[in-house]
Structure 1
């Protein structure tokens, strides 16, 4: 629109258009710089932490002939702990974050506190698998050879975890360190030095862990749908069954923590842990009945309302899983470091390697730092990108994680907590997928229309790319770390 007198625009003129464009470009540059600087800051903090751990090791061990080796091992042990925090803790917190029961910030704080508490209060005081379970100690009689084998295993497993985290694949830290010890042990003492029966059990756990975890999670989800979600009076059903489910969770976590998290405090047999779990489960069930009834008052008789009843139990389960993880998997970070310290200071490779307190603190702090700095990527992947989770489904995942460990321990089967948790997420997703397809098939048959291949594809609720990618990472973890460790061991022998 123009002024008829002079042909100039009659509306307001934007005289700041050029400046707005320039400011927009500056804002984009600032955003890009911030996106680049965030990972750089995290890497910088990690480097500082690793150097501090090396200096701490130097100050605590004093001057001696093997001090340089201990300092180097402390540096790589800290690096390994950072990678465990970045990769492995996602399995505990991912479902709760994906279900929106916890914010990312809340999850990071809870996990850091409980991981550290588990490592320092109930962290294992021996590393029998590292020192004698994979490679026979008698096969590596020379302390120097043993030291370099452990160093190679530590570096190889840390590098593999770093690579897996970068690609967004949650892998087993236990399998990583086991593969590293195996590879260096084969080069150091030959294939006969490896305890192949133990390795066979570990290989079997690649299949057993995710299938068992997925099956148990799917069974609980099917139970909840059949007896709570899909009945006319959902609130009455919830008041009947939710206290029992929470009691089962409390009992299973009691047994889980008794067996896996309190070894350093007290030695508990499987039958004793199960009795403790049963007693706690019954007590919690009775305590929760009036609480659930009070919480459900005023709720609508809808599925959406029922999810609120599982929010707090899910948060508690995530915290307990983190405690148990810190108690158990801190040894994966500092096991080889403890073995190296033992070999340097005692000139031996005893099958029982005590972890000094300062070594345990490096592992606990490293896991917490790694979680805070790099953990969100894997937490989002496990909780949001494999399949859609809500409080109810995530509760089934957490419940499956604790029960599966107990079942596996009772059967004498070695399992990976990573494989169990991720397998449970897959199990929940595949069950929902099967249920949705079953209902669609019945509905279409009633209409006289078969379910087409295109319709089946549209109803997929689990991302197949993650199934294939994570499965491949699981399978190659042990061989990849074994080959990398073997190459590092050969290189160290040539250099030193």
Structure 2
């Protein structure tokens, strides 16, 4: 499962940088593998709620062995779906895949009453909300960049004033998010970290951007502006990978930690689940291998196939994605980063006109999103029924 997560979700962080030619696919894979592993091992969710964000009540099952079989079934089903989607280069939500797996096991073991339907409906709603919000924000950011810099008579001169503020605000967002989501700090403390990063990064960016100089040719100035945002894009993509390793490794190792705990306590009333460090290490290793060996397929889809990207467009996508994830964290809305990135890429494409967006690729992606939970649920249910009958439960 960790391998599948690495192969599919690496595109969330690195696809825009690859698509905008800030880095090569090989460089992206190496950077992402290292940072995903580091994030998983250093800050991987040490405590996770009852499996899959409490989407299924497991207290109704008296036999702990059936919960173990259910967790294995969810992992098998989610892995099968994410690998299948990756084979066809479709970016899907790995979080929704494991949730679908848990729903399938829950339905056949205890019926509809054991599913927390209110949480499931929130997830369904997020299929529509996250790509729209990510798309709208990226569209707005790109239009702001175009209006304040790219369409000016002297783009580089304008960029020296505007770019440091945009870069500073981006680092405010990602430091605030990292503190809030990964370090689990409060809003006030996270805001303080964010503001420190904003002022420091804005000042450093201003000093560095001042050194850029070109001839008076407008094309040279455009290239200089793109160079400024190329460097920023690599940093924002690196953040997304580090944060992803820390936050999403639980999708793979959470069920494993649950199995280990039930095996030790022989009880299904587990509450929260401690994830041992060596399990996080294995999860991080799996994600890193998935990135290195199979991550290029989905990167191609998001970075190239939806629309053509350059560095200012890539920056707009990262900015829109980070803002959407931040807003969802504040309001407690379970969005998918994958869905948000795809929406953001589409939004930037639409800012230049619908004719530059590959609608056929988008249709295929949307179909894969709607299939995710039903496929994972069905595969998990069948796996659970097969295993329980084989073991004569």
TM-score > 0.5, shorter chain as reference: yes
Q: How many Å separate the matches in 2 of 1:377 and 1:299? A: 41
Deviates more, 1:138-147 or 1:200-209: 138-147
The answer to whether structure 1 residue 292 and structure 2 residue 209 are counterparts is yes
TM-score, length of structure 1 as denominator length? 0.76
Structure 1's 154 and 290: CA in aligned 2 closer, same or farther, altered over 3 A?
same
Q: How many Å separate the matches in 2 of 1:419 and 1:366? A: 23
Question: Contact between 1:260 and 1:327, CA under 8 Å: does it hold in 2?
Answer: no
Question: Contact between 2:52 and 2:98, CA under 8 Å: does it hold in 1?
Answer: no
Q: How many Å separate the matches in 2 of 1:219 and 1:140? A: 49
* Residue 149 of structure 1: how far off its partner (Å): 0.7
* Residue 154 of structure 1: how far off its partner (Å): 0.5
Q: How many Å separate the matches in 2 of 1:251 and 1:300? A: 34
- Counting matched residue pairs gives 388
* Residue 169 of structure 1: how far off its partner (Å): 0.5
Question: Contact between 2:172 and 2:198, CA under 8 Å: does it hold in 1?
Answer: yes
Q: 1:230 aligns with which of 148, 151, 154?
A: 151
Q: 1:152 aligns with which of 73, 88, 104?
A: 73
Q: Which residue of 1 aligns with 2:360?
A: 465
Q: Which residue of 1 aligns with 2:241?
A: 322
Give the secondary-structure state (helix, strand or coil) at the position aligned to 2:356: coil
Question: Contact between 1:101 and 1:391, CA under 8 Å: does it hold in 2?
Answer: yes
Structure 1's 241 and 487: CA in aligned 2 closer, same or farther, altered over 3 A?
same
Q: Which residue of 2 aligns with 1:54?
A: none
The answer to whether structure 1 residue 176 and structure 2 residue 97 are counterparts is yes
The answer to whether structure 1 residue 108 and structure 2 residue 3 are counterparts is no
Q: Which residue of 2 aligns with 1:281?
A: 198
* Residue 86 of structure 1: how far off its partner (Å): 0.9
Q: How many Å separate the matches in 1 of 2:267 and 2:108? A: 20
Question: Contact between 1:81 and 1:370, CA under 8 Å: does it hold in 2?
Answer: yes
Q: Which residue of 1 aligns with 2:107?
A: 186
* Residue 132 of structure 1: how far off its partner (Å): 6.0
Give the secondary-structure state (helix, strand or coil) at the position aligned to 1:89: helix
TM-score, length of structure 2 as denominator length? 0.96
Q: Output aligned runs, 1:84-483, within 5 Å.
A: 84-128=5-49, 130=51, 133-262=54-183, 267-296=184-213, 300-302=217-219, 303-349=222-268, 350-433=270-353, 460-483=355-378
Question: Contact between 1:137 and 1:351, CA under 8 Å: does it hold in 2?
Answer: no
Higher relative contact order, chain-length normalized (CA < 8 Å, sep 6+): 2
Give the secondary-structure state (helix, strand or coil) at the position aligned to 1:294: coil
* Residue 151 of structure 1: how far off its partner (Å): 0.7
* Residue 276 of structure 1: how far off its partner (Å): 2.0
Q: How many Å separate the matches in 2 of 1:270 and 1:85? A: 30
* Residue 495 of structure 1: how far off its partner (Å): 0.6
CA RMSD of aligned residues (A): 1.4
Unaligned runs of 5+ in 1: 1-79, 435-459
Deviates more, 1:364-373 or 1:272-281: 272-281
Unaligned runs of 5+ in 2: none
Deviates more, 1:182-191 or 1:268-277: 268-277
* Residue 280 of structure 1: how far off its partner (Å): 1.4
Structure 1's 192 and 299: CA in aligned 2 closer, same or farther, altered over 3 A?
farther
CA offset digits 1:79-127 (Å, max 9, x no partner): x111111111112111000100001111111101100110011110122
* Residue 467 of structure 1: how far off its partner (Å): 0.8
Q: How many Å separate the matches in 1 of 2:15 and 2:262? A: 38
Give the secondary-structure state (helix, strand or coil) at the position aligned to 1:171: coil
